Amino acid sequence: MKPTLFLGSIVSLLAACGPSAEEKSKAELFRAEQRFEDAMTDSVMSDAPSYLISKHQLKGKTKDLNKAVEFLEMYAKQRKGYVENSTTNREILGQSSLQISADTLAQISNYRMVAELTLRIPYFLLDSALQQTSSLMSYVDERTITNHNAEIEMIDATFQQASHETSIENSQKTMSKSNLKAETVLAQTNRNQNHMEQANQARVQTLKLQDKIMYSTLHISLYEEEKTQVEKHLVLEQLKAYEPNFFLKLWASILEGAKGLEKMILFLVSIWSWILAAWVSYKAFYIWRRNFARQ
């Protein structure tokens, strides 16, 4: 078999197998793009700009940080958005020490609880989300709004995708001819692969832009009122051994003497029978000796 026919057969097999995987990829991308188009044509969003990427930042003080964070996270999920990140920390504002006794030191810490949230909200609900967030704040310290029209980027990404797909179609038509040389077939195959990769990159870029357009970014910084915490610590270097006063020492001595007397009485009680027997034996011996002396 000639090399040209052999390579042609391989290309034909790849062409026969390739469209299946390619069609699956196109179907997935089509569904993502269709969701974007449906959202853009929704009657609720008909007055919103079609290609505007919005980013808002809010910073303010709140009375109950934990409840505010919980409410905002739940609000994003209920409005078909999501929480990109959420952190809560204790921020130390200052520390000092105070000697309150000879052996006790008070550690005084001034702190406040802070939280950082990044929410992705459908852009047609951004105003509502801003109102809900502002209602949780005692006052707003900072507010930053950034809007960017991504229409040019969308057109560029779409054009790049269409250009590479057209190049692939033209190359496949050329490769379908049977009189091509082996070198031409290999070169066309490599070019098709490059065009396919670049077309996929353009599609991914389009989807990223669609995500930024559909979901506005809302970054929220919250903090509570400053609080004070006092912790007591013992100064080990100044701790002294405990020494009782005179009366406590006297009372301790009396107790020790009573314990000694109690032990002696118990000992005498335990040997009382032996003492009695010894006394009786002594008296009997004394009487016998006296009577013996008289005789």
Q: Which residue has the higher pLDDT, 65 or 260?
A: 65
Average pLDDT, the chain: 77
> Rounded CA gap, 178 and 171, in Å?
14
Q: Tell me, what's the pLDDT at 43?
A: 37
| Average pLDDT value for residue range 195-207 | 82
| Average pLDDT value for residue range 95-123 | 87
Q: Are strands 139-149 and 52-61 parallel, antiparallel or unpaired?
A: antiparallel
> Rounded CA gap, 251 and 256, in Å?
9
Q: Tell me, what's the pLDDT at 83?
A: 95
Q: Tell me, what's the pLDDT at 89?
A: 95
Identify any residues that bridge with 58 across adjacent strands, giving them in sequence order. Answer: 143, 220
**Full-prediction pTM beyond 0.75?**
no
The letter for the amino acid at 117 is: L
| Average pLDDT value for residue range 220-225 | 95
Q: Is the pLDDT of residue 236 over 80?
A: no
Helical packing angle, 151-175 and 182-214, nearest 10°: 160
- For residue 219, the surrounding DSSP H or E stretch is strand 215-223
Residues 39-69, buried b or exposed e (16+ Cβ, 10 A)? Answer: beeeeebeebeebebbebebbbbbeebeebb
> Rounded CA gap, 118 and 73, in Å?
9
| Average pLDDT value for residue range 38-46 | 48
The letter for the amino acid at 240 is: K
Q: Tell me, what's the pLDDT at 47?
A: 46
CA quadruple 168, 173, 177, 180: dihedral sign: negative
Give Cβ neighbours of residue 205 (< 8 Å, ≥ 6 apart): 153, 157, 160
Give the C-alpha distances (Å, rounded to integers) separating 12 from 6, 17, 58, 197. 10, 9, 59, 20
Distance linking the first and last C-alpha atoms of the chain: 159
* Tens digit of each residue's pLDDT (9 = 90 or more) over 4-27: 433 344 444 444 444 444 555 555
* Tens digit of each residue's pLDDT (9 = 90 or more) over 242-266: 566 777 778 888 888 888 888 888 8
CB 32 within 8 A of CB 214: no
| Average pLDDT value for residue range 111-129 | 93
CB 164 within 8 A of CB 202: yes
